[in-house]
Structure 1
């Protein structure tokens, strides 16, 4: 039997006659069986993974995910292998491109929906992928696509030592797009899986793993795309050397920030959620990027700190080993005040605050004999710095002031004695 392209272009009636043969009807029955088996497999997997469904693979319905068209394509390929051992069947030259196009469309649509959730351009990209895929199927079935590719192959030019044609450029662009979709698919699945239940210190480490995997996949995809175009990858050694020199001289600070970012995420010296003080700015770390770290202060201001500063300068991490912080309050009372009663009132004022920890318990010490009165230092611990530091100290100040006034304990004013010398 002639191939599909020759039969269709030369004699359409002969091609239609080949589809009406018993072998073709047998192939259609096998394809129907493949449809049923693919549907049954997806249904069984959905039942097995109830409550833990993979939306990209399985979708919201039985046949709107990626798994169904991939299983259908694989089963159809197996059926063609089993049924065309003696002679080829033209019907499979239609079924396989259709299944391939369906798999490409579903994969592209699902990956774009996950990778760019809510973006306005996703709908346009979905339609573009669908139209291109079905157009390629129609051109392939009618035999026009091989002819067009052959003509595009004749349009070529020499780029350095490589012969580049329009066909290789188109194939390279399609390969790059396919690789990008696969990379987004894999990286989105990995990131969702890694960050789903990560908290605290694990969140930073899993995030750097996700970013590293995505960067490596993108690099491998770029090499595959360049290789598909026909560009010799050994020629990239010169470009790599130039880029290395540029990084060494012109992009030294930028490279240092990126390297510092990976070091911070890997060693977890600072983590998302820690309360830190860097270069006089104090706040809570809300995000750690590859180049910079975002610190948010209690008043809502955010500071973007280059990661190099987090490595080369002193950083005060108030929650590195644990979330407990200590504060001190200094109180001055008159010399004739009852010391034991003052200590009790100060401890009671601290213990009355819900944020103050009972273990370790607040403590009061007579720290100095001041010029105007007795100086007491009150120390206490708390473990939620994200709720604010100054507000807790203010509440304790108010409680101490109220307690001292209620018991008529004097907070002395500064007293100075001025001696006036009589004029000579």
Structure 2
């Protein structure tokens, strides 16, 4: 009777032929767990006791300690040298910081790979009945793990989001380790066996991990494309600010929506059942989220009709300030005293909004004052116009005008009108400066500003009584 050789895996245990269907039951998962435990037991009780296995572990430990010593010696000097580089671009400093943080792992890789090459050149193969194919096989596994971990650590730094970077890094390390140890099929089977069946939907840990990884990668790509497109649109001076915001919001919704759709399709989720769910969500939005939907639609209308845009100075009720950002639900208005009002977009559509810089930058301001009846009104008007012209921010190519608007009880009433182009610089302060210029001009030219006066007269036969308080 002939015997056929059974293939050996990396731990020396005989591998079984791949099952026709992945195990999904608890019994199959238990068998896989027992098989893994048997392999670990064989490794620690048999393979680890062999001389060359122990030698390789000792060599790896010595190389690790040597890499640690080199890192302790080189890292402080590298850090001091980096501090002397003042005119370097930021990307160089970031790259050197990445190298400095992974210096021990870099040294370990630089030491172990030449060691493996030397051992393979000067040592002889292991005996036929020995589990390891060569006397440097265990060092090769350790070197592959170290190199894979280093590459993943470097590439994961390209991810901006800290949480996503951490998830990708540890997930990559785990998957690469299982791949190098040839345990991916067992791990996948175990994860797929921990499942819940909801009708026709098979939900397992393996599917959840696939979903998280796939959606994470797609969201990272969508975020990168969104930021790149947003930067390009903001640099385009031919596009108005409101259209820039509208285009950016539209691109963000399109990219993230496509990421969700592609991610769910990639992991095998049937999206045909979402049609009924989307209808129910639409009914819920119509009744429970009327204000939210109204604000969203109002935001789109504002961006499309360009009635207001970032940088405009507006007045809404008692709120006066300039628009900082246009959001999907609200608009941020910053006042002169630093307060930031978040005004719902619906109020900007239905309310009466004064846009001081809608069609052009010119803003006309009016101030009212009065002078005594004894002063020449022609002279008063000329002095008022000249005083306003001498104030900063008041336009001279659109000269101020002054008119008489009435004869009051104790004064001749005037209105002084002047133009400015920077309402974001404030309105109260420019009015105050013009009033101060009028005061100085009237004082120099003998123009009096009347004010109410009261006289108390004592009639004949009346007495003034005083009372002394204790």
Task: Tell me the TM-score normalized by structure 2.
Answer: 0.62
Query: Is 1:171 matched with 2:192?
Result: no
**Partner residue of 1:299 out of 332, 337, 341:** 337
**C-alpha distance in structure 2 between counterparts of 1:257 and 1:128, whole Å:** 36
**C-alpha distance in structure 2 between counterparts of 1:266 and 1:104, whole Å:** 45
1:306 to 1:366, Cα distance in 2 relative to 1, 3 A: same
**C-alpha distance in structure 1 between counterparts of 2:385 and 2:455, whole Å:** 34
Q: Is the 8 A contact 1:367 1:377 kept in 2?
A: yes
Counterpart residue number, 1:245: 283
- For residues 318-339 of structure 1, what are the alpha-carbon distances to aligned partners after superposition, in whole Å with 9 as ceiling and x for unaligned? 1101121111122222223223
**C-alpha distance in structure 2 between counterparts of 1:302 and 1:103, whole Å:** 46
**C-alpha distance in structure 2 between counterparts of 1:176 and 1:270, whole Å:** 36
Counterpart residue number, 2:175: 136
- For residues 66-115 of structure 1, what are the alpha-carbon distances to aligned partners after superposition, in whole Å with 9 as ceiling and x for unaligned? xxxxxxxxxxxxxxxxxxxxxxxxxxxx9xx9999988766653232xxx
Mark the runs of 5 or more structure 2 residues left unpaired by the alignment: 1-6, 14-88, 100-140, 461-470
Task: Tell me the TM-score normalized by structure 1.
Answer: 0.69
Counterpart residue number, 2:20: none
Counterpart residue number, 1:217: 255
Counterpart residue number, 1:312: 350
1:307 Cα offset (Å): 0.5
Give me the CA root mean square deviation: 3.6
1:164 Cα offset (Å): 3.2
Counterpart residue number, 1:160: 199
- For residues 184-218 of structure 1, what are the alpha-carbon distances to aligned partners after superposition, in whole Å with 9 as ceiling and x for unaligned? 2222222233234669x733322232222222222
1:9 Cα offset (Å): 4.3
1:379 Cα offset (Å): 0.9
The higher radius of gyration belongs to 2
Counterpart residue number, 1:356: 394
**C-alpha distance in structure 1 between counterparts of 2:170 and 2:343, whole Å:** 46
1:10 to 1:60, Cα distance in 2 relative to 1, 3 A: closer
- For residues 112-169 of structure 1, what are the alpha-carbon distances to aligned partners after superposition, in whole Å with 9 as ceiling and x for unaligned? 2xxx4xxxxx2x6534423321332232233211232234344444222223333222
1:108 to 1:205, Cα distance in 2 relative to 1, 3 A: farther
- Name which of structure 1's ranges 321-330 and 201-210 shifts more when overlaid on structure 2: 201-210
Counterpart residue number, 2:226: 187
**C-alpha distance in structure 1 between counterparts of 2:412 and 2:448, whole Å:** 11
**C-alpha distance in structure 2 between counterparts of 1:250 and 1:385, whole Å:** 40
Counterpart residue number, 1:82: none
- For residues 363-388 of structure 1, what are the alpha-carbon distances to aligned partners after superposition, in whole Å with 9 as ceiling and x for unaligned? 11222233323222211001111111
Mark the runs of 5 or more structure 1 residues left unpaired by the alignment: 1-5, 13-52, 65-93, 117-121
Query: Is 1:390 matched with 2:438?
Result: no
Counterpart residue number, 1:258: 296
Counterpart residue number, 2:136: none
Query: What SS class does the counterpart of residue 375 from structure 2 fall into?
Result: coil
**C-alpha distance in structure 2 between counterparts of 1:98 and 1:210, whole Å:** 42
1:236 Cα offset (Å): 0.8
- For residues 338-393 of structure 1, what are the alpha-carbon distances to aligned partners after superposition, in whole Å with 9 as ceiling and x for unaligned? 23321221111101101100121111122223332322221100111111111111
1:298 Cα offset (Å): 1.6
